[in-house]
Structure 1
């Protein structure tokens, strides 16, 4: 499916008046820096200017393109697909008005036309796609920064909100696909594709229901064997399942069945959008971790909160070796606690943090470090961030710098060096928990 996410040419079908969806998609593609050929198509023709660039609107497509984005009335889509035989490899059908509103026959006609024309279809009733490394933003949703997360969303609105939230959370994306009614290509196809995509480090999937459970299980198991797959399943409750069925026309089914499938396939299930991005952030940095955690903090309260959360999640508060404790005592002030959690007290500076991280990292009883910083006004959060960056440690380090303007400088510096911040001790603890679920490249069931 490279022609969808790394296309060299695209045609857009629809109305290009100000404020129209087709025009906004065209704007997104241009402003996103797409370097291939862009062909707007509308029977009325004309000249338009979008994002400072002039286009001749073709009355019909006459040259071959990799992908076509279709934003025309639903009843006209099957006919257009027939016309595109031999001219396009893939079609992204943004248009709504198919099975999600009861027009099952129209959707069947669309797919029959696509099969006859040899065209693969994403949608209908979707929000489009991004191929970030291909500089292709074929959607009306907010553009995102380059990174390792491929987001697969059954819901276009959820996908749009998730992209915006990802930007706020500092998450980088490799791709985004909103697949809507999944009349042709579906979540299983995208799982298989992104499992082998070299630019994707982690896959996130929002689903309400699937139509082919066996195929989904096989695809999920394959993808999870190659990289982390994070799933947010909507429709877990009875009322939610009914709402999901009315939304995209898919069968939500029993949540317990889905839950068993996720576990057996080796996927990681989360319950909230916030968790989805926390898991994505930590897997962008690290592949896995053991369960023994050392907590390093300059504030006792957050250290206790982190410890409580770690133990609640079934992780272990690492028992430091006696030689580790002795080395810490050699340079830390006597007021500091050198048992885990390690409390460096409020005036902890660059040197205190860096040396502590390096010494604890060398302890064979420690699998991962959770580093907390609540800087007093007389110590820069950037100084502590630099200590984390400079510390020589090959084990996972998950950081919790809090809060707000107090740590803005430090968080920005960490981000520049590929280190993600988790805003609360509990979220940082859970990030380590998700890492601990994977052993090598497999999830522990």
Structure 2
């Protein structure tokens, strides 16, 4: 017999959100504990090869056996699994689009999908045969694709993007499989012809984030890289690109491409620790002067960056290298809710470590500055009240520290969509 009120049970379970073992133990205490524990345990689900192979039907039947799962799962990871043996290559998982559609329709609240060494593949060897099976959905917050290097690298990326072309995506990330032993030379030349990207016309992606690995020498050739980026831009998929510390290499190879004119907004991650051995040095950031034609430049601070002494890098290198004619400058703090420190502590690091006087002087050099934007994006699971409080804290600090330099009319505070709601 349950002697605790449901509100108290929910509060106890919520405080154990990061302790999976305790949640599993609580779920067998009594029937009243099952639902709140299940809601946390199954918010994020990982599926592997057997769910797309011998156990396909059983995977679908789980949702019929536990109907509440449909409204619980918000993050889905599909992984090909680990390599077998010390010298084995990580496996690659080919996903049947018909089965994937049937599976995704069982999850009515998805906002994040991560594909690791997977590709959505039709039975025929043509991406166009995916079109009848494309998934329809209201919106995804995050779509992350980490393709295998054992097959045609960009073909895997392209086919998977085609499958999601009916779903608006806030953020598209392309990441490398870091477990790969090396790039398969046989896949060179299997790039996607530029005219194929017309299949993606009408797809909308808020921010395209190619991450680092697509620009490293061990990944596909420069020709393939330009085809990928040019294809997305020419098809009108996005006008916003986020670059991390490999962004300089991107600018070097991409700037001759005519489609660069379609990029209106750049997001640039601030380096956490500029290393003397890094391929990109802060002094190379002078290439950012090429961004004179874009409408806005936003500097992004990740949780890792917040732990470092980043302020001097921002004021001495990054801001100084932008054209003085830049009209809109933004600052976005991306906080990972899964990190050991709470989001409010992470934001506190940003506000306390920022050299506000140096930032004020750096902003004074932009003679045509019309707007300075600030925002907080939370990556992970937090409540909307906590997210709103983080944005309120950001606004209060900025208004008190920059009011003498930036007038109230120029200050704007962006309530960015949560990645975890």
State TM-score, norm by structure 2: 0.34
Q: Answer with 1 or 2: which has the greater Rg.
A: 1
State TM-score, norm by structure 1: 0.33
